[in-house]
Amino acid sequence: MTEAMIRKKPGMASVKDMPLLQDGPPPGGFAPVRFARRIPNTGPSALAIFLTTFGAFSWGMYQIIEMIEWKLGSLGNGGADDECY
């Protein structure tokens, strides 16, 4: 459909000459939108995440300390590694 058929005016009309045609809400308004903040209760708890992270960090630090002690021991310091602590 053309603008002329919708507005019932012949040819192109000025914007000022066109009748006001505006959309609005339906009679009675729109239906309410159903929304809710539904956060699922699945997954590990905060304590489980903390303990897992702490365990991984502790294991990594243990491995680093073991490697340092192994490297110092392989140098043949003759017990000088005790002074490093």
Tens of pLDDT, residues 45-62? 999 999 999 999 999 999
Is residue 54 in a domain? yes
Q: Is residue 1 part of a domain?
A: no
Q: Is residue 13 part of a domain?
A: no
In terms of Cβ atoms closer than 10 Å to its own Cβ (0-12, 13-18, 19+), residue 81 is: middle
**Is 52 part of a structural domain of the chain?**
yes
Any idea what the Cα angle at residue 20 is, between residues 13 and 24, rounded to 5°?
Answer: 140
Query: Could you tell me if residue 62 is inside a domain?
Result: yes
Signed CA dihedral, 48, 49, 53, 54: sign only: negative
Residue 46: per-residue pLDDT? 92
pLDDT of residue 75: 67
Does the pTM exceed 0.75?
no
Domain annotation covers residue 7: no
* Number of domains the chain contains: 1
Is the model more confident about 34 or about 75? 34
Confidence at 8, pLDDT banded by 50, 70, 90:
low
Residue-number span of the structural domain to which 55 is assigned: 47-71
